[in-house]
Amino acid sequence: MARTRILVVEDESIVALDIQQRLQRMGYQVVGVAATGEAAIRQAEQARPDLVLMDIKLRGEMDGIEAADTIRNRFHLPVIFLTAFADDTTLQRAAVTEAFGYILKPFEERELAINIEIALYKHEMERKLRESEERYMLAAQAANDGLWDWDLQTDSIYFSSRWKAMLGYEDHEVGNSPSDWLDKVHPDDLEQLQVALAAHLRGLTEHLEKEYRMLHRDGTYRWVLTRGLLVRNPEGVAYRVVGSQTDIDARKKAEEQLLHDAVHDALTGLPNRTLFLDRLSQVLERANRSAEYTFAVLFLDLDQFKVINDSLGHNAGDELLVAIGQLFRRSLRSTDTVARLGGDEFVILLDDLHDPNEAVRVAMRIQDALKAPFQVQGQFAYTSASIGIVSSVHGYERTMDILRDADIAMYQAKAMGKACYAVFEPSMRKSAIARLELESDLRQAIERQELDLYYQPILAMASGQVAGMEALLRWHHPIHGSIAPDDFIPLAEETGLIIPIGQWVLREACRQMRCWRTTLPGSEKLYVSVNVSGKQLTHCGFARQVAEILSDTGIPAHSLRLEITESVLMDNAELAMRAVEKLRALGVELYIDDFGTGYSSLSYIQRFAINTIKIDRSFVEVINDQGDSSELIKSILRFALDLGLETIAEGVETEDQLEHLKGLLCVYGQGFVISKPLSPEAAGMFLAQAFSEKHRGSTAPIALLQSSSDGCEGGERENGTPRAACP
C-alpha cells in the first residue's frame, strides 16, 4: 500500500523537524514542510498531499485557519490543526473550516496517528458522498434522464436502467463497456461525440455536452443529449466521468420540422425559393470549379391557371398545384430539385447534365405528362406549362441572374403560346430589358400626355347614318413613335397599369362625347364605344368609377357602350357577372368584341343578357370580291337575328363587303371603307359633316363625306392641356 503523504505546516523549525521525524517513524511520508500560510497553499497545490497537518499560529499575514480554509476549498484536502492552546474563538473559527481534527501540542504519537487515520477515513467518506451526490444531482436534474458512470481506470461504464430503457433495452441487454454506448451512436455523429469526449477528458472543456442520434432497439435513431463531468482524484488525475442522457427526440423533430417548414412550400411540400436558391448556389459553385460540370434551370409557369382557379374554385386550384408538384417530382431524378416559387410558378434544377439537350427533353417530357387531365374535386382539369430553360454554360456568377434569365426564357415561351418552351439566349435579355423600359415609360405616359384617343365611326347599315364612335387608344412614345395598342395593352394588363390607363380612356372618351353632343344638332343618339379589358371590368369599384365619370361629364348612360371580349366573361365569370349587372343597372350597355374568336359560347351571351355582338374581322375578311362569304358569317348573323341580337361587322374594308353584309341584314358596320380611326379633330370634322348632311336630310353614304372643320375640336384634356375650346 502506498504510504500516506503528509504536508506539515509549522513556523517553528525545530517543532517542524520533530513532527517530520515522528511522522516518518510512524510510516507516513512527509512531502513538504511549510512555514507560512502562503507557502502551505503553494506546496499543497504542487505536492497534492493526502493530508495537511496545520499549525494554527503562523507567522506572516495568514494564519493556519485561513490557509486551511483555502486548501480545503481549492484542493479538497483534509486538514488537521495543531495548536498549543485552544481558546474558544480560535476553536470556533477552526470549526467553520470544517477541520478534520485538532491535536493539542504537545501530543503523543498514538494520538497523532489516530487523528490522521480518522481524518483520512472521514475524507474518503466525504469524497464518496460527494460523488454520489454528483450522480444524484444529475439524476435529480431530470428524473427522466438515463445515467452513466464511466470508470476510466477499468474502462467500464455503468448505465442506469433508464439509460437503457430510453433505447428500448432491458437491463441485462446492455453490457458495461464503452462500445455498448459508442456502437449505438449514429455513424454521422460518432466522430463529433468522440472529439467532444476527448476534449473533456483532456480538461479542455468544463463539461461534456453533445446532441447526437442513438440507435434504438427498434432500428430507428433517436436524438439524445449527453452531459458529462470529469471527476479527478486528489492528485488531479481524471479517473471517472459521470453523466446523463436526455431524450430530446421530440424537441429535435420539432426543430427539424420548423427548419423544414422554413424552406418548404406549405401547400405542395416542395422546397421553396430559399432552399432552391441555396441548392442553386451549391451547384453554381461546383460549375465554377469544374468545367465539365453543367446544370440547367427550368422555369415553369402554368398556362391559364387563373381560369381553373376561378372556375373550379381555390380548393381545386390548390389540389391541382399539389398534383402538379407531385407529377414534376415523379418526372425527375432524385438528384434534381423541384421548387414552388409561389402562385403557379415552379422551378426545376437539373443537376449534373451530360448533354445540354437533356434539359429540353425534360421540358418536353413534362409538357407531355401535363397533357393528361388532372382530377380535382371530382372534376377534370386540363393544364399546360410554359417553360423557360437556362443552362449553366452561360457562365453565371449569381444565382439570381440564373433565375432571372430562366424567367426571361419562360416569358418568351409564353409569348409563343400555350405549352411552349424556350431556351435562354443572351439576346432575350435585350428584349426583356426593352420590355422593362417600355413598362417604365408606360407608367409615365398619362402624366406626360403621350396617350391619345382616336375614334372610328360605327355606321348603321340601313340608313347609312353614324351610330357611334369607337375610342381606340394611341400611345405617342417620345422615342419609338406611335405604338399600337396591341403592343402595349397586354403589358398594361400585366402590370396593372391598365387600371389608371383605362380610367383615363373612359373619362377622356366621355368628355369628348359630351363635347360632340353639345355642338352637333341631332346627335342625341350618338354614342361612344370604349374597349374595356378584363382586369378593368373585374377590378373592384369599376361600376362606381363609370357612374362617377358619367356624372362628372354629364353624358347619359346610353351614350356610353363598353366593349369586352368573350374570354373576359369566361375567365372570371363570377366577378364579371357582378360587374355587368352593376353596369346594366346604371344603364350602360355592353358589346361582345371580337365575337367568334374566343370560346364562341352563345350561352354566355344569353346568361349575361348582352344584346350586341361585334363580329370579328376575320369573318369579314373572307368575303371576297364576288361577294361570296363563308357559311360561318351567314350562320352567325342568322343565329343573332333569331336571338334578337344586334350585330356589328368589324374590319369592313371594301364596298363589296359592305354591300354583302347589308344583304345579310348585319345591323352595323365598321371599317376602313367607312373610315379609319380618326384623331379627335378629324373625328369632329367627320361628325360635323355627317350631322349637317343628316340635318339637311341627305342619305348620302357617310363614307363618301368629306371632312370639314366645325366648332368642336375637343376641350380641356383630362390632364389639363388645352387642345381647343369646347363649350
Residues forming contacts to ligand C2E in the complex (CB under 6 A) are 456, 472-473, 484-486, 489, 505, 531-533, 563, 593-594, 617, 650-653, 671-672, 677
Closest CA to 640 of 660, 612, 620, 619: 612
Report the nearest approach of Ca ion to the CB of residue 505 (Å): 12
User: Which helix H or strand E contains 211, and what residues bound it?
Assistant: strand 208-215
User: Among ligand C2E, Ca ion, none, what binds residue 656 when CB lies within 5 to 8 Å by partner kind?
Assistant: none
User: Among ligand C2E, Ca ion, none, what binds residue 681 when CB lies within 5 to 8 Å by partner kind?
Assistant: none
Count of all residues that appear for the chain in the document: 727
Whose Cβ is closer to ligand C2E: residue 223's or residue 454's?
454
275-300 burial, b at 16+ Cβ within 10 Å, e below that, comes to bbbebbeebbeebeeeeeebbbbbbb
User: Among Ca ion, ligand C2E, none, what binds residue 677 when CB lies within 5 to 8 Å by partner kind?
Assistant: ligand C2E
Whose Cβ is closer to Ca ion: residue 563's or residue 693's?
563
By three-state DSSP, how is residue 411 classified?
helix
User: Among Ca ion, ligand C2E, none, what binds residue 472 when CB lies within 5 to 8 Å by partner kind?
Assistant: ligand C2E
User: Among Ca ion, ligand C2E, none, what binds residue 671 when CB lies within 5 to 8 Å by partner kind?
Assistant: ligand C2E
User: Which helix H or strand E contains 414, and what residues bound it?
Assistant: helix 399-415
Report the nearest approach of ligand C2E to the CB of residue 329 (Å): 40
Whose Cβ is closer to Ca ion: residue 166's or residue 509's?
509
Whose Cβ is closer to ligand C2E: residue 337's or residue 675's?
675
By three-state DSSP, how is residue 366 classified?
helix
Report the nearest approach of ligand C2E to the CB of residue 635 (Å): 21
User: Among ligand C2E, Ca ion, none, what binds residue 512 when CB lies within 5 to 8 Å by partner kind?
Assistant: none
Q: Which residue matches cell numbers 456568377?
A: 397
Whose Cβ is closer to ligand C2E: residue 347's or residue 568's?
568
User: Among ligand C2E, Ca ion, none, what binds residue 598 when CB lies within 5 to 8 Å by partner kind?
Assistant: none
Whose Cβ is closer to ligand C2E: residue 549's or residue 652's?
652
Q: Which residues bind Ca ion (CB under 5 A)?
A: 531, 563, 593-594, 650
Specify whether the CB–CB gap between 239 and 152 falls below 8 A: yes
Report the nearest approach of ligand C2E to the CB of residue 439 (Å): 17
User: Among ligand C2E, Ca ion, none, what binds residue 302 when CB lies within 5 to 8 Å by partner kind?
Assistant: none
Report the nearest approach of ligand C2E to the CB of residue 324 (Å): 31
**φ, ψ dihedrals at 618, nearest 5°:** -60, -25
Closest CA to 550 of 581, 575, 577, 585: 585
Report the nearest approach of Ca ion to the CB of residue 318 (Å): 36
Report the nearest approach of ligand C2E to the CB of residue 320 (Å): 29
User: Among ligand C2E, Ca ion, none, what binds residue 651 when CB lies within 5 to 8 Å by partner kind?
Assistant: ligand C2E
Whose Cβ is closer to ligand C2E: residue 301's or residue 593's?
593
* Cell numbers at 705, concatenated: 363625306
Report the nearest approach of Ca ion to the CB of residue 426 (Å): 37
Angle at 517 between CA 515 and CA 522, to 5 degrees: 150
User: Among Ca ion, ligand C2E, none, what binds residue 486 when CB lies within 5 to 8 Å by partner kind?
Assistant: ligand C2E
Q: Is the dihedral of CA 518, 521, 524, 530 positive or negative?
A: negative
By three-state DSSP, how is residue 127 classified?
helix
Calculate the CA 667 to chain-centre distance. Answer: 55
Q: Distance between CA atoms of 409 and 416, rounded to whole angstroms? A: 11
What order of strands is seen across the sheet that includes strand 221-232? Answer: 156-159, 146-151, 238-247, 221-232, 208-215
Report the nearest approach of ligand C2E to the CB of residue 288 (Å): 47
User: Among Ca ion, ligand C2E, none, what binds residue 553 when CB lies within 5 to 8 Å by partner kind?
Assistant: none
Q: Distance between CA atoms of 59 and 465, rounded to whole angstroms? A: 132
Residue type, 666: C
Specify whether the CB–CB gap between 459 and 668 falls below 8 A: yes
Whose Cβ is closer to ligand C2E: residue 388's or residue 651's?
651
User: Among ligand C2E, Ca ion, none, what binds residue 214 when CB lies within 5 to 8 Å by partner kind?
Assistant: none
Specify whether the CB–CB gap between 387 and 410 falls below 8 A: yes
Whose Cβ is closer to ligand C2E: residue 299's or residue 591's?
591
Report the nearest approach of ligand C2E to the CB of residue 580 (Å): 16
Instruction: Calculate the CA dihedral of residues 301, 303, 306, 309 and round it to 10 degrees.
Output: -90
Closest CA to 82 of 44, 116, 124, 47: 116
Whose Cβ is closer to Ca ion: residue 10's or residue 650's?
650
The residues, ordered by sequence, that sit 6+ positions from 474 with a Cβ below 8 Å of its Cβ are: 451, 452, 453, 454, 482, 485
* Cell numbers at 79, concatenated: 486538514
Q: Distance between CA atoms of 488 and 496, rounded to whole angstroms? A: 12
Report the nearest approach of Ca ion to the CB of residue 468 (Å): 11
Report the nearest approach of ligand C2E to the CB of residue 482 (Å): 10
Report the nearest approach of ligand C2E to the CB of residue 517 (Å): 20
User: Among Ca ion, ligand C2E, none, what binds residue 131 when CB lies within 5 to 8 Å by partner kind?
Assistant: none
Whose Cβ is closer to ligand C2E: residue 22's or residue 474's?
474
Q: Which residue matches cell numbers 363635347?
A: 515
Whose Cβ is closer to Ca ion: residue 101's or residue 468's?
468
Closest CA to 396 of 432, 424, 435, 372: 424
Q: Distance between CA atoms of 457 and 472, rounded to whole angstroms? A: 11
Whose Cβ is closer to ligand C2E: residue 32's or residue 677's?
677
Angle at 137 between CA 132 and CA 141, to 5 degrees: 150
